[in-house]
Amino acid sequence: MIFTKIKINDGYLKVSFNNPPINMYDVEFSKQLIQLMDEMEADKDLKVVVFESSNPDFFVAHVELLNVHNFPKGVGKTGLSISWPDIAKRLEQAPFVSIALIRGRARGLGSEFAQAFDMRFASKEKAIFAQVEIGIGSFPGGGGMERLHLLTGRARALEIILSGNDYDAETAASYGWVNRAISDSQLDAFVDDLAGRISGFDKSAITSIKEIMNSRARVPTNDEIMDTQVKFFASLQMPEARNRIKALFEKGLQQPGDLELNLGKKI
Amino acid sequence: MIFTKIKINDGYLKVSFNNPPINMYDVEFSKQLIQLMDEMEADKDLKVVVFESSNPDFFVAHVELLNVHNFPKGVGKTGLSISWPDIAKRLEQAPFVSIALIRGRARGLGSEFAQAFDMRFASKEKAIFAQVEIGIGSFPGGGGMERLHLLTGRARALEIILSGNDYDAETAASYGWVNRAISDSQLDAFVDDLAGRISGFDKSAITSIKEIMNSRARVPTNDEIMDTQVKFFASLQMPEARNRIKALFEKGLQQPGDLELNLGKKI
Amino acid sequence: MIFTKIKINDGYLKVSFNNPPINMYDVEFSKQLIQLMDEMEADKDLKVVVFESSNPDFFVAHVELLNVHNFPKGVGKTGLSISWPDIAKRLEQAPFVSIALIRGRARGLGSEFAQAFDMRFASKEKAIFAQVEIGIGSFPGGGGMERLHLLTGRARALEIILSGNDYDAETAASYGWVNRAISDSQLDAFVDDLAGRISGFDKSAITSIKEIMNSRARVPTNDEIMDTQVKFFASLQMPEARNRIKALFEKGLQQPGDLELNLGKKI
């Protein structure tokens, strides 16, 4: 089991995930996440869910590239691909609140995974963010082209996506990529206090707030998400991309070690 | 008189307000604010107005809940309810600049009151912000669902509205809720210098800047404002909301004292 | 030659500019910039360009006001005036990345010049920003009414434009006006590292990122840009504006010296 559900109270669910060795978003991660999303939607008492990695070095490393075409196929209830975009849209539209508590590396789809939550809180000392796709001749295909600029504005989103570089939590917070960077020793207590508060409020108020906000604030359209996803998969077939991916695998991509720990600097 | 007008020069008006004991937005506050808004619009020389509370603990505590149905009725020149939404839209569309100088607590409608000004400057040591409505089973009904995300983005607006918690001025500034947090000892001089400068510029340029900006930057629509207001009043009739309001009154809501001083932490 | 091209590698161009004595955007600056823009677009290998001033006190002071009607006339390929708005739109739509490295003063059209780049990095100690147009009874006419609020939000854009005051780099960064304020001693290395990285990535990925981002994030429309430009030129004909401009010229406007060094404080 990649995802472990810990029920703090009837309205407050903690989800701890671990997909050794480096918490990649792979086929199994995708399948279990779909199952988990179904369960969360079916839980009518759920008010708030907190996702955290139990791997201290990786939140979500990035998408697993060798079996990218074996991901679950088809579209989900939102009309988007069930492999990930459908999950992201369901989190956005959910009647409960979703919070990402981030330690370790959140790069590529790992960063886009974090962006799909209603809020993000990051360890000042231990969180690292990057959109590394340009290092494989591509660009964020899982919502990053749509959601990152809504958080950071166009100029900073372009900087992040065009540099491919690693960003520490304080820079991420100053850019709006995360709500806040919090000292690692206080992060768990802060998020627990916030989720605990939310779980004590009325579900109907929580649901109304999310519904109204989703119709007031700009959220990505399905057309935008699908357009980018199609272009992303096409880009991976380009010779330049294939060569870059091959070279990175030779240097240790998707293996525990120096390359994955310092991927932003090494692409 | 809740509002005291101090004419600094022909173009620069300071409005100091005080509605003892805790500066609630009540029926009388609403009536006098409508009168004041009429007077400001009639003053063709007015270039900039600064609003400040003379109560050191409260900017505007929140709306007064016991007589909420006795507020002035009808729609104003903007097509919105004269009790407050019409005033907010008139400040936005005014040919003069409006500045909120914030010390003390600005919670609920007090925060929304501040959001309606063109700019906000807050005391680093003494300003406290919150959208506490979730504590009574509801959500911001006076523009907070529309204006806050335009200042802070969706993620931080959701955090603020779903937590109901108190925010200090520096966090508020880092989120965009206020333009800046300024040391209390320098706040008055900073705002006075800014308003003084503006009052020395040409009225036609000031008016053009506001007109053009209002057609370039996103501002809330009347439909959005009215939709939320209707849902807000409906939410107050729900049994959960009534129970929460009753419990808070028993603990000291709307009375000077510990609950109102620390409302964000105690809801 | 105002603009000196330094080819760092095939994909990375540095442009150093100097228009003595105070780097004004004048007729000659405009003509040479059009020529340079044509050359950059014709260079199919170009991936990233960095613009920097070689005048330590001025990035771009502001537009030259005495010969404002001698600027190149006509519309360019974007449908906008070739004197500047067309260049700004071409930088936005370019298949290469544009970066402004800012030391010294960037006021009025100098600030709007900076805003037209994909990213902005400013010297913490030496960059100064202002929209000073209100000091001549006007408002930003070269894109500032359209682009600044997209970077800073409406409230902070109004503060900047209505105050006309100088802003240091750290405040500019906290407002989103620039991506980051960086210690002067580290600024060159930071930007060089970023541009160097980008120049090592695939052109097709860079181009895709800019294309997709331009269709996801909000960018100014031609109608907005032209509407403001027309109003800007009309405002300069108003008696108040003429008087303000005349008074500033008598105090040393467009001359090296105290007024231009401290223009934000002295308007």
Q: Kindly identify which residue of chain C lies nearest to residue A146, measuring between CA atoms.
A: C216
Q: Which member of B165, B224, B238 has the closest CB to residue A204?
A: B238
Q: Would you say residue C38 has pLDDT above 90?
A: yes
- Total residue count of chain A as it appears in this document: 267
Chain C positions in Cβ-Cβ contact with residue B219 (cut-off 8 Å): 154
Mean pLDDT along residues A110-138: 98
Mean pLDDT along residues B120-147: 98
CB contact under 8 A, A162 and C204: no
Of the candidates C67, C65, C59, C89, the one whose C-alpha atom is nearest the C-alpha of residue C226 is C89
**What is the nearest CA distance from A103 to chain B, expressed in angstroms?**
19
* A201 interfaces chain B, CB cutoff of 8 Å: yes
Mean pLDDT along residues C180-202: 98
CB contact under 8 A, A145 and C219: no
- What pLDDT score was predicted for residue C233? 96
Are the C-beta atoms of residues C156 and C98 closer than 8 Å to each other? no
- What pLDDT score was predicted for residue C68? 87
> Which residue's entry shows tokens 């049994």?
B239
State the DSSP H helix or E strand holding residue A29, giving kind and residue range, or none if neither.
helix A27-42
Q: Which one-letter DSSP state was computed for residue B60?
A: E
State the first-to-last Cα distance of chain C, in angstroms, to the nearest integer.
31
Q: Would you say residue A69 has pLDDT above 90?
A: no
- What pLDDT score was predicted for residue A128? 98
The per-residue pLDDT for range A187-220, each reduced to its tens digit, is 999 999 999 999 999 999 999 999 999 999 999 9
Question: What share of chain C has pLDDT > 70, as a percent?
Answer: 100
Q: Environment class of residue C258 by beta-carbon count within 10 Å: exposed (0-12), middle (13-18) or buried (19+)? A: exposed
Of the candidates C128, C146, C161, C158, the one whose C-alpha atom is nearest the C-alpha of residue C224 is C146
- What pLDDT score was predicted for residue C98? 99
Mean pLDDT along residues C110-135: 98
Band the pLDDT of C118: cuts 50, 70, 90: very high
- What pLDDT score was predicted for residue A51? 99
The per-residue pLDDT for range B43-99, each reduced to its tens digit, is 999 999 999 999 999 999 999 999 988 999 999 999 999 999 999 999 999 999 999
Q: Please, which chains are in contact with B (at least 3 CB pairs closer than 8 A)? A: A, C
Band the pLDDT of B193: cuts 50, 70, 90: very high
Mean pLDDT along residues C31-47: 98
The per-residue pLDDT for range C73-87, each reduced to its tens digit, is 999 999 999 999 999
- What pLDDT score was predicted for residue A68? 87
**Domains of chain C: residue spans and CATH:** 3-201+217-266 (3.90.226.10)
CA dihedral C115, C119, C120, C121 (to 10 degrees): 180
Q: Which of residues 226-255 of B touch A (CB under 8 A)?
A: 227-228, 231, 235, 238, 240-241, 244
Mean pLDDT along residues A69-74: 95
- What pLDDT score was predicted for residue C24? 98
Q: Kindly identify which residue of chain A lies nearest to residue B227, measuring between CA atoms.
A: A212
Average of per-residue pLDDT values in chain C? 98
- What pLDDT score was predicted for residue B69? 87
pTM: 0.98
* C73 interfaces chain A, CB cutoff of 8 Å: no
CA dihedral A166, A168, A172, A173 (to 10 degrees): 180
Chain B positions in Cβ-Cβ contact with residue C153 (cut-off 8 Å): 150-151, 176, 217
Mean pLDDT along residues C120-143: 98
- What pLDDT score was predicted for residue C94? 98
ipTM of the complex: 0.98
**What is the nearest CA distance from B210 to chain C, expressed in angstroms?**
8
- What pLDDT score was predicted for residue C108? 98
**Distances in whole angstroms, Cα of residue B235 to Cα of each of A26, B147, B218, B251:** 43, 20, 27, 21
- What pLDDT score was predicted for residue A194? 98
